[in-house]
Amino acid sequence: MTAQFPAARPRRLRRTAPMRRMVAGTRLHPAELVLPVFVKEGIDEPNPIGSMPGVLQHTRDSLRKAAHDAAEAGVGGLILFGIPAVKDARGSAADDPDGIVQRAVADLVSDVGDAMVVMTDTCLDEFTDHGHCGILTPGGEVDNDATLERYAAAAVAQARAGSQVIAPSGMMDGQVAAIRAALDADGFEQVPILAYSAKYASGFYGPFREAAECAPQFGDRNAYQQDPAGPVGEALREVRLDLAEGADAVMVKPAMAYLDILRQVRDAVDVPVAAYQVSGEYAMIEAAAANGWLDRERVIMESLVAIRRAGADMILTYWATEVATRLG
């Protein structure tokens, strides 16, 4: 670059809205958005989630309406989390053919499966009475290898119900390989896996744990989710392991505090990369807006543009339907 002021005036390309729109380097599209949804067994009416204004624990019927609205807005997909009526130590409802996730998946695929991608979260924390993401040893630790068997069973149950993408989120070593082998053995070679490859032990998950009723009853998840201050390169190692095991796409979670990780992953792989704008990110913006401290719509869009700019091909966000409607 040789020109200097006054010949060089970068503001020329910022002066009007049409000009800014024409030269924009980052664009959002409704098809890139994925809506996380919660369905709860045994309720007659949707339950508002106190820490996430506007987000609900759905009945099967209200979930169908929410999915229809998302599809109408052009949202690319949704990802389902289920809350069973009965929980136990092994998360039996996770692979029950008549479990709440399996029944709700069948509803959604029937209703909107041709218009959007129906994904299922594959973990045990919503289904266990202790709230951890796997089977526990007698000493109270999560047993990695025993948990893999449960993940594989849950993934097959979800695929049989019609799930179009399996998304394992538990951060167990070997989870993608176990699920891929189980799906293939059951005739689901064509069902892709979106791996939560870089999932951090974050304080931003609090509202989600209210929504999914999955707060650990003791301890924490630091022994299996990534440390926010962990070794440089750990996220890329996790991503590469998942890809070697058969993952078709990978995810970084949370988004806002890990945009640097998202950029590293995007630069390192040649598969789609997702980022999850998690419950705490949603709750902070909604709370600040409710207090008049910021412009809600502007900050929502700015936050999503930042995630897209950092390299996300897909963004999981609770604002998916609202934003898709606004994007038109």
Query: What is the pLDDT, as a whole number, of residue 232?
Result: 83
Question: Catalytic site residue 199?
Answer: yes
What is the CATH number for 81?
Answer: 3.20.20.70
Question: Catalytic site residue 87?
Answer: no
Query: What is the pLDDT, as a whole number, of residue 2?
Result: 79
Is residue 146 one of the residues assigned to a domain?
yes
Is residue 1 one of the residues assigned to a domain?
no
Is residue 14 one of the residues assigned to a domain?
no
Is residue 191 one of the residues assigned to a domain?
yes
Is residue 19 one of the residues assigned to a domain?
no
Is residue 212 one of the residues assigned to a domain?
yes
Statement: the pTM of the whole predicted model exceeds 0.85: yes
- Binding site for Mg(2+): which residues? 238
Question: Angle 238-216-210 (CA atoms, 0-180°, nearest 5)?
Answer: 100
140-157: burial string, b at 16+ Cβ within 10 Å, e else: eebbbeebbebbbbbbbb
Q: Which domain holds residue 296?
A: 28-327
Which of these, 35, 162, 57, 43, lies nearest to 102 by C-alpha position?
162
Six token digits for residue 186: 């059951």
Is residue 12 one of the residues assigned to a domain?
no
Q: Which of 40, 65, 87, 253 is catalytic?
A: 253
Q: What is the pLDDT along the chain (328 residues), one digit of tens a residue?
A: 679 999 999 999 999 999 999 999 999 999 999 999 999 999 999 999 999 999 999 999 999 999 999 999 999 999 999 999 999 999 999 999 999 999 999 999 999 999 999 999 999 999 999 999 999 999 999 999 999 999 999 999 999 999 999 999 999 999 999 999 999 999 999 999 999 999 999 999 999 899 999 999 988 999 999 999 999 899 999 999 999 999 999 999 999 999 999 999 999 999 999 999 999 999 999 999 999 999 999 999 999 999 999 999 999 999 999 999 999 8
Question: Domains in the chain: how many in total?
Answer: 1
- Binding site: which residues? 209, 221, 238, 279, 318
